[in-house]
């Protein structure tokens, strides 16, 4: 395994979620001595997506970052019904396990859908494990409105057709890797393409625990976006939780078109558009800008809460 990934994994630990081992990292200020920040990663990788902004975050927060089941260094069971609802259950279970009763949330991609589910539960008072207070939410590029979301062809094929099951045995092959590499290339901006080492890290994360067997099954979360769209959007429209969207505009999946829809749908929207050449992975492509806009948002929330 790549040395950087090995260090990331060695710094983490595991907790039991319904009989499965879930990898997570807790770092930064001790619990109770700083605000808690929950990082919710996207598909199909893991908490390592946050590595470039991690050093700054742990100076300010108690940072909690799990790998969702089926991804990263967590268990990847094959006979399993992966869903956004279950991912949200896992995050609640981890917060309850760590005795966290409130947190800020920073989410990306699939993590946005999990964050929407957590917000909907928070608004309805309907939780699987505990009832953590959501202090704020910051969204990065993700498919928050399925009517605007435009997934790549590979994701459509793997997650929304029977070909996903048929081709899963070939995932990890040289041909499958080349297809994945082309898809990844499309998701990064022209000036922020991943290096060969980063591409190899991505593949190692996917392949860990024979993850190629389940990548397509995890990707079926896109169907949950249709099933729960109205409930999630209603919660976003009605909540008093401070929210900010930080968006990479040339993301083909959820770039400026998603931010424009956010501006149309969400009352009093707080949207920050990044530089014109930033795409789907803002925390990797523009880490300094993401930190700046995220910390500005959270600092304002904390300052307002202290005045109350």
d(CA 207, CA 216): 13
Domain 3-307 belongs in CATH node 3.40.50.1820? yes
Per-residue pLDDT of the chain (308 residues; tens, 9 = 90+): 999 999 999 999 999 999 999 999 999 999 999 999 999 999 999 999 999 999 999 999 999 999 999 999 999 999 999 999 999 999 999 999 999 999 999 999 999 999 999 999 999 999 999 889 999 999 999 999 999 998 755 565 555 555 445 445 555 677 778 888 988 999 999 999 999 999 999 999 999 999 989 998 999 999 999 999 999 999 999 999 999 999 999 999 999 999 999 999 999 999 999 999 999 999 999 999 999 999 999 999 999 988 76
134 strand-pairing partners: 103
Q: In what order do the strands lie in the sheet with 271-273?
A: 13-17, 20-28, 62-66, 36-40, 102-107, 133-139, 243-247, 271-273
Q: What is the pLDDT of residue 166?
A: 43
Give the separation between CA 68 and CA 63, rounded to whole angstroms.
Answer: 16
Domain boundaries, the chain: 3-307
pTM of the predicted model as reported, rounded to 2 decimal places? 0.94
In angstroms, the CA 71 to CA 211 distance is: 7
Q: How many CA atoms lie within 13 A of 238 on its CB side?
A: 12
């Amino acid at each position: 395994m790549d040395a950087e990934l090995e260090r990331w994994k060695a710094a983490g630990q595991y907790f039991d979620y319904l009989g499965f081992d879930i990898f997570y990292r807790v770092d930064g200020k001790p619990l109770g001595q700083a605000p808690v920040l929950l990082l919710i990663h996207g598909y199909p990788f893991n908490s390592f997506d946050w590595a470039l902004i991690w050093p700054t975050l742990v100076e300010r927060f108690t940072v909690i970052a799990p790998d969702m089941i089926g991804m990263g260094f967590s268990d990847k069971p094959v006979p399993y019904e992966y869903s956004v609802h279950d991912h949200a259950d896992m995050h609640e279970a981890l917060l309850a396990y760590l005795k966290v009763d409130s947190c800020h949330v920073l989410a990306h991609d699939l993590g946005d859908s999990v964050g929407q589910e957590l917000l909907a539960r928070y608004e309805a008072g309907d939780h699987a494990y505990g009832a953590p207070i959501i202090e704020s939410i910051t969204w990065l590029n993700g498919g928050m409105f399925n009517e605007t979301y435009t997934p790549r062809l590979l994701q459509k094929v793997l997650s929304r057709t029977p070909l996903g099951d048929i081709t899963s045995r070939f995932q990890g092959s040289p041909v499958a890797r080349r297809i994945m590499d082309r898809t990844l290339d499309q998701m990064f901006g022209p000036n922020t393409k991943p290096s060969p080492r980063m591409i190899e890290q991505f593949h190692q994360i996917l392949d860990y625990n024979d993850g190629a067997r389940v990548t397509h099954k995890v990707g079926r979360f896109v169907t949950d976006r249709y099933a729960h769209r109205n409930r999630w959007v209603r919660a976003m429209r009605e909540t008093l939780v401070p929210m900010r969207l930080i968006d990479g505009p040339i993301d083909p999946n959820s770039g400026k078109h998603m931010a424009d829809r956010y501006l149309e749908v969400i009352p009093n929207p707080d949207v920050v558009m990044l530089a014109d050449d930033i795409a789907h992975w803002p925390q990797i492509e523009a880490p300094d800008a993401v930190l700046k806009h995220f910390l500005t948002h959270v600092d304002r929330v904390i300052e307002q809460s202290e005045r109350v």
